[in-house]
Amino acid sequence: HVFSEEKRPGTPQMTLLAYLPVMESFGFTADLRSNTGGKAFPQCSFDHWEPMSGDPYAEGNKTFTVVTAVRKRKGLSVGIPELSRYLDKL
């Protein structure tokens, strides 16, 4: 979501301010530089958290897809473990 575009007077430079979800930022710098011939560079900083809607246990929605992708990237089992796995067993 781009929320600000500003052209620098007297130069070909342009500054864009946008929100980029962390999941979509992996590889962003390489893509940006390769698509601009190395002329563009990002400066990223954290701004805010935004809750995702949807059930991470239900297949077919964005939340499930994101959780599954993160678990796979981290080398964890793809399925979300049951809560009982983490509860103390007396």
* 32-84 pLDDT tens trace: 899 988 888 888 888 888 888 888 888 989 899 989 988 998 999 888 888 88
Provide the β-strand partners of residue 18.
Answer: 2
The structure's pTM equals 0.56
pLDDT-derived band at 21 (thresholds 50, 70, 90) equals: confident
| pLDDT at position 90 | 65
Give, for 17, the enclosing helix (H) or strand (E).
Answer: strand 14-18
CB 51 within 8 A of CB 45: no
